[in-house]
Every structure is written in C-alpha cells, then in structure tokens.
Chain A
C-alpha cells in the first residue's frame, strides 16, 4: 500500500505527480534542491523538503539524500519522475531495502531491462523484430569491426539512460573513431555508465512508441502508440498520436505484439516500447523506457486514462481494474515541448526571470508547466519549461487548435522555441504526415525556420 509519496524530481513532472497524488487521495511531499525553492511544485505542495544544493549530483541524483528525505518526512514511497534516478535499478533496490515502495517497475524488473543491448535480445526472444546491431563495445578496434558487420551508417548509443544523450550517427570508420570518446564521456556524465553499442541507422525513419501498463498480477494492456518523429539531434520536439505513419491495422498489430512481449518478459507498471518504422511500414524495436514519459499526456488525451494515477495504483499493488476493450483511441493530439531555448542561436538554452506568461486555453487545450509569471528559470537543469498539448477530433482539428494555442502562448523574459513549433505546423512534410526523425537535422533548423518564414 502506498499512501504518502515523496516526489523526487522537479519541474513540470513534479507538479504532474503532485496532481496525480491529490486526485487519488495520496499525500505528497516534494523534495527540492536549493535552486527550486520557489518552484511551482514546491510552493503548491502541502509539504516540501530541501534535499541539497542546485547541483543535481548532490540533490536529485543523490540516492541517500532522497531516501533520507522520504524517511524523515514519513513517506512510504518515492516517485522518481523521469530522468535523474527514474530508471536506476540500484536506486530502486536501495529504496526497497529501506522499506519504501519505488513508484515504477520493481528493482528486479528494472535490472532485467537496464541494459538496452540485453533488452533487445530479451524482447526479440519474445517475438519483437529488432534492428540489426552490435553487442557492447569494448574498444575502438572491436567497435570498428562490429560497425563493419552491422553496416554503415550506424548509430552509437549508450546502453544506459536515454533522451538522446551520448548518441551519434556516423557514416564512416573515421567518424566512428572520432565520436567514441565523446559518446563515452557523455554517457558517463549522464548516466554514470559509459557502455555503448551500435545500431544500424535507418536513413528515413519514424519514431513510433507504444505505451503499455502491466499490473503486479501480470494483467497488461497497451494504450496505443505515439509518434515522436519530429526531432532535432535525437531530442524530441513535438509528438503526436495516433501516428500518421501507421495504418489502423498496422498500429493495432504493433501495439498487440508489444504488450504480449512485455507481459511475457515479466514487465511491471507503466512503460514505453520505442520502435523505428521504415518507409515500408516495418517496425523495429529499439528500446524500452521503464518510467513515465514526457509525452505521456498525448495518451491521456486519447484514452481518458490518467497514466500517473495508474502508475501510483499499480505500484500500490492494485490490479488494473480494466481491460483492453476499455482503452479507446479517440481523436488526435499533439504535444509541443516548450523549451527555454533560442532557435535563432542554435537552440542555446536560456535562463532568467519570466516577466510575463500567458497560458493558452480553450477546448482541447492543456498546458503542463511549472512556470509562472515571475519564475526565475534556473540554469542548472534541462530547458523544458512546459508542454502544450492540444486535442481535436481529427488531425486537422488538432493542428488548427495547435496554431491557435501557440499564438496565445506568451513567454517574456526568457526566449523559447515556439518559433520552431509554428514552423513545423506550416511545413508540408508535417501537414502530409511524413515527417522523419532526420528531417530537421538534414535541412538544418535555421534553414527550416527561414523556409517557414518565406512560406508565410
């Protein structure tokens, strides 16, 4: 049973978890760093506790500080949000060892899925098609050998972590040798683990992911798919659901195979299976995310199911309480990640005081954000300021609502990336539902923005 949750994260996701706790009747304590004392989740919480300085290594990434905070505030569980320690099996195990519940998959499940390279093999054994790739890379010579076997271009990926950190696409042995040390150090800094592996790079591909939920008793459902093909340097910018790349029969088949495989592999709680889909509609499994994802609201808009509440209930030991037939996929939704980044200057992240904030509204419009007028955006963490989510009965209606909502969104004092969202909504590949993961990088974000400006 879970009745009092320590929220060990910051920003919009801390607020999202706080809201979920309140709606399911669980108490919540927000753990924050000194830099987040005046953040919205800390201010809205009935109880909050400072766990360390701004440096995430001594606060949001410090397992002892977080567990100690949970114990001294009388919590019985810890919600890790996303990023930070959310998929760290050693952390989940330490949480359990202190008699607390980890809101997410149990430690042994996390451990089973901790290595991306091993997870690919495990789920392939349970019937998921995977992309050709390598085992863990040992040294440069072996990496070059493996790359030759997989076939260029290849994608270098960290075995731990996610979010595009430490990932590089290379087209030649020379490029591979050059990026290996960079990827290793980024992986080490981001996830404390520098192991890397290779995957064949599909030139034109779409990123499609399936949301799943499995309770402690092995009952699982899928909650359909999301399309995250609009990316810049492997960072998702805009997501939508359903995927315009999939046919109704194709999406049903992919979702059903995904849930069947993870139930068979012993997964528990909510999770996301990521696939690359090629031009012919073939889907290849690439990785699983054992946590709530940034883009989870898309699924909530289409299914009407509160995923964070579901995550809390599953961790609390409750059965799902519904079946696959109870999971509709109604209408179309788009999520815009509003980042404190300057598209005119290579998406340089910014910080500083938000002098004015106007939040869009109206039917089918949702804004998940920890920002407020007067909020001082700290320079220490990622640049996500909020997520604008729009829903419409059709893709066209959702796009129209997206345009209207983006026009209403005002953020003064800190530069945001809204210009790129307006440009995407007016680009022909997006309107045709044919955006691929490499499009922005191939064209160049600056050229893409200028093109959209001319087309206006």
Chain B
C-alpha cells in the first residue's frame, strides 16, 4: 500500500524545498515587494526567480482601501497577487444605514461607516474624533463631487479603514465608530435617533 501521506512521487526533500520556498515568499519576498511597490508609485511589479513568478498590481493611479463585502468567485483567475489592503473581507454584510442597537452587552456598540459612492476616499475625522450620528467623517470624491461618509451612531471614530487616495466602491466599509460607555440608568434607547433629529430642529 502506498503511504497516504505521500503526495505523488515527490520526495520529502522536494516537498521541503517547496515549503521553504513558500515560507520565504510569504515572509520575506512579498512584504519586501509590497513596500517597494508602495514606495515606487508603480502600477505593477513582476519578479521571476527559478520556477516562481510573482506579479503585484494595483488599479491604475489608486490603491484600494477599506473593507469590501465578499464577492463570491468562480473560474480560473489570473495569478495576480493583490495590492496591499485589498481583498480583506469581512463576514459582515454591508451596513448601509444604521443597524438596530445591539442588545445590552458589556462591549461598546460599534458600527461601520460605509462609502456612499464609488470613487476616491478623502479622510476627514481622524481616529479619536468624537462624532454624532449623521456627522460627516470623511468624503468620497465622485468625479469631483464630494459625497459624505456619515457617522452611523454617536461615538468616537476608532478606526479609519481606508487611506486618502484609495479607490473605494459603493458600500465599502471605510471607518468604525464606537459608542462611548453610557452613563448607568440613562435609559436612552432612542440615542441613535436623537442626534440628527436634534440638529434638524
């Protein structure tokens, strides 16, 4: 009986060589190339070495930022190693508008702000900024027309997921706002609604 742990006729030495190659690729080569690509302003970088070929590419002119909702993939795709920051996915469905407040929990409520348009991200409120629901916290440049990224809830900007100049798509998660710890017994179930309504008056 053949050893089920053996893959084909490859020797242990060959497999070890591949493992070493992969390890070197992911730990040394790719990070180095990514930083080179970032520093260069180039759109594409390709390196060949022995049997390996690595190609890094970013959309012309703009890097992609933020977190995009997962797009199912099918078929054989080109062996393109994506630019940094891209491809990061999240299990969350895109939360275009405010979501019902989470049940009372010890953890503070967190909501993501999403891009209102496909365009170029321009940061506004930096991490640490105190915002109210509906405040503009960044903009997305849609052919020169600024589109507001608004805070989904009252709180503090705890993360900005995209960088200035990044290409963002519609619904892409670009920032996180965390509610500040509530004062005990405040009973403000309608806190999220109070912000915009208050300003309207």
Contact = CB atoms under 8 A, between A and B. Distances in A.
B73 interface: yes
A52 interface: yes
A138 interface: no
Nearest to A34: B171
Contacts of A46: 77-78, 80
A40 B59 contact: no
B74 interface: yes
A137 to B, nearest CB: 36
A50 interface: yes
Interface string B164-180: 00011111100000000
A47 B58 CA distance: 11
A72 B74 CA distance: 24
Interface stretch (A63-71, A120-128, A172-180, A409-417): A63-71
Interface stretch (B6-14, B61-69, B131-139): B61-69
A68 B143 CA distance: 6
Given A34-B171, A37-B69, A50-B69, A74 B74 contact: no
Interface centre among B71, B80, B119 (most CB of A within 10 A): B71
Interface in A359-414: none
Contacts of A1: none
Contacts of B59: 47, 72-74
Nearest to B80: A46
Contacts of B71: 37-38, 42-43, 48
B170 A34 contact: yes
Size category of the binding interface on chain A: 20 to 34
B118 interface: yes
Interface in B134-159: 142-143, 145
Given A38-B72, A98-B143, A74 B119 contact: no
Interface string A12-47: 000000000000000000000010011010111011
Which one of A48, A71, A72, A73 has the highest number of Cβ atoms from chain B below 10 Å of its Cβ? A72
A316 B117 CA distance: 29
Contacts of A40: 74
Among A43, A47, A59, max chain B CB count under 10 A is at A47
A51 interface: yes
Contacts of A50: 68-69, 118, 169-172
B167 A73 contact: yes
Interface string B109-127: 0000000011110000000
B60 interface: yes
Contact of A72 (B69, B77, B94, B167): B167
A37 B119 CA distance: 18
Contact of A65 (B60, B94, B170): B170
A68 B119 contact: yes
Interface residues of B, number: 30
B92 to A, nearest CB: 14
Nearest to B60: A74
Contacts of B68: 50
Contacts of B94: 34
A44 B170 contact: no
Given A64-B145, A68-B142, A49 B118 contact: yes
B108 to A, nearest CB: 28
A444 B58 CA distance: 56
A68 B167 CA distance: 10
Interface string A405-434: 000000000000000000000000000000
A53 interface: yes
Interface string B47-90: 00000000000011110000011011111011010000000000
B180 to A, nearest CB: 31
B195 interface: no
Contacts of B98: none
A420 B142 CA distance: 46
Contacts of A37: 69, 71-72
Contacts of A74: 43, 59-62
Nearest to A47: B59
A49 B172 CA distance: 10
29 contacts: A34-B94, A37-B69, A37-B71, A37-B72, A38-B71, A42-B71, A43-B73, A43-B74, A44-B74, A49-B118, A49-B169, A50-B69, A50-B170, A51-B118, A52-B118, A64-B142, A64-B143, A65-B170, A68-B117, A69-B118, A69-B169, A72-B59, A72-B61, A72-B119, A72-B168, A73-B167, A74-B43, A74-B62, A98-B143
Question: Which 4 A-B residue pairings sit nearest by Cβ, starting from the closest?
Answer: A74-B60, A72-B167, A43-B74, A50-B169
Interface of A: 34, 37-38, 40, 42-44, 46-53, 59, 64-65, 67-69, 71-74, 98
